[in-house]
């Protein structure tokens, strides 16, 4: 075989190896959709041309996104529902930006431990089943968002590993449910609900021998 024959063989041998090493994260399509909707400015070092596992403030394990830590970046635009396709996501930190539109449904993210989304411009909280399947959730923070009125959903009781639930100044109405107690949520230490439109009585579950007693700041 002549020179060009050799070149051909080399090229056809190296091509598959090359594409293997360039294999993109299986979360690439979801991350790309998320990136396209955060505008006009993208998070620092996010580029749809590169593997999302190399983006700034994103970490992966086994090619799957596990943390997104894009707080304090003056981001606006919306957060795509595609975020619920990131099935290995552990930590979502997006606080102190200007993200707007509906808060994404994160249902089924069974690994997710932390949601820090406080101080944004989200306009709607998707109540009903929000907490179903969020079996690992420990930190939930949505304070200071101009949501349409919403009530703390019944599905919150499924997030039995919660340590903190903070939703001050988030336009919550209705009553504080009874399930914030040491039976349902033995790890709960912080319950922060100040500056809302809550009504009714403080739940009886707040008193008594239950340890720890959650900290509640009602509206003044
Ligand atoms: C959000 O937008 C408002 C109005 O444009 C601006 O004043 C504020 O600094 C922004 N906040 C953040 C955290 O980007
Ligand atoms: C906050 O959201 C409202 C309603 O969607 C929008 O009109 C406003 O421009 C947003 N502000 C910022 C700073 O993104
Ligand atoms: C609270 O929700 C109501 C009803 O959705 C809305 O009219 C009101 O503007 C909201 N308040 C704030 C402070 O966002």
186-217 pLDDT tens trace: 999 999 999 999 998 888 777 753 434 445 55
List, in sequence order, every residue forming a beta bridge with 191; answer none if it has no partner.
Answer: 165
Whether 106 shows a pLDDT value over 60: the answer reads: yes
- Residue 23 is predicted with a pLDDT of 84
As a whole number, mean pLDDT of residues 108-135 equals 94
CA angle, corner 93, sides to 91 and 98, nearest 5? 150
Closest CA to 95 of 80, 126, 74, 81: 74
Task: Select from 121, 123, 147 the residue to mutate for testing ligand 2; criterion: most ligand atoms less than 8 Å from CB.
Answer: 121
CA angle, corner 168, sides to 86 and 170, nearest 5? 70
CA 10 – CA 3 distance, rounded (Å): 11
- Return the minimum-mean-pLDDT range out of 73-77, 108-112, 124-128, 171-175: 124-128
Domain ranges of the chain: 25-216
- Residue 4 is predicted with a pLDDT of 56
CA of 171 to the centre of ligand 1 (A): 20
- Residue 216 is predicted with a pLDDT of 52
- State pLDDT tens for residues 14-60: 444 444 456 899 999 999 999 999 999 999 999 999 999 999 999 99
Q: Is 98 in the pocket of ligand 2 (CB under 6 A)?
A: yes
Whether 142 shows a pLDDT value over 90: the answer reads: yes
- Residue 20 is predicted with a pLDDT of 44
CA of 113 to the centre of ligand 1 (A): 28
pLDDT band at 220 (very low <50, low <70, confident <90, very high): very low
- Residue 213 is predicted with a pLDDT of 45
Task: Select from 98, 100, 116 the residue to mutate for testing ligand 1; criterion: most ligand atoms less than 8 Å from CB.
Answer: 98
CA 193 – CA 105 distance, rounded (Å): 21
One of 3.80.10.10, 3.30.230.10, 3.40.30.10, 2.60.40.10 is the CATH number of 25-216, namely 3.80.10.10
- Residue 219 is predicted with a pLDDT of 40
**Percent of the chain surpassing pLDDT 90:** 74
Query: Read out DSSP for the chain?
Result: --HHHHHHHHHHHHHHHHHHHTPPPTTHHHHHHHHHHS-SSPPTT--TTS-GGGSTTEEEETTEEEEEE--SS---SB--GGGGG-TT--EEE--SS--EEEPPP-TT-TT--EEE--SSEEEE---TTTTTT-TT--EEE--S--PPSB---GGGGG-TT-SEEE-TTS-BEEPPPTT-STTT-TT--EEE--SSEE-SPPPGGGSSS-SSPPB-----
**Percent of the chain surpassing pLDDT 70:** 84
Mean pLDDT score of the chain, rounded to an integer?
87
- Residue 108 is predicted with a pLDDT of 85
As a whole number, mean pLDDT of residues 160-188 equals 94
Q: How many CA atoms lie within 13 A of 152 on its CB side?
A: 24
């Amino acid at each position: 075989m002549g020179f060009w024959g050799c070149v051909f063989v080399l090229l056809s041998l190296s091509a598959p190896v090359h594409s293997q090493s360039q294999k993109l994260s299986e979360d690439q399509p979801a991350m790309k959709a998320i990136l396209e909707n955060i505008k006009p400015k993208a998070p620092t070092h996010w580029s749809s041309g590169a593997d999302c596992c190399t983006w700034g403030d994103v970490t992966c394990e086994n090619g799957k996104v596990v943390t997104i830590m894009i707080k304090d970046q003056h981001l606006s635009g919306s957060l795509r529902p595609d975020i619920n396709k990131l099935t290995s996501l552990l930590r979502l930190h997006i606080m102190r930006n200007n993200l707007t539109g509906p808060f994404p449904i994160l249902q089924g993210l069974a690994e997710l431990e932390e949601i820090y989304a406080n101080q944004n411009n989200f306009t709607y909280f998707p109540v009903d089943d929000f907490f179903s399947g969020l079996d690992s959730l420990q930190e939930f923070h949505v304070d200071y968002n101009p949501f349409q009125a919403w009530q703390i959903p019944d599905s919150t009781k499924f997030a039995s590993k919660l340590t903190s639930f903070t939703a001050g100044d988030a336009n919550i109405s209705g009553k504080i449910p009874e399930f914030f107690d040491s039976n349902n949520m033995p790890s709960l230490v912080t319950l922060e609900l100040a500056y809302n439109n809550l009504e009714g009585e403080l739940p009886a579950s707040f008193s008594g021998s239950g340890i720890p007693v959650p900290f509640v700041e009602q509206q003044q």
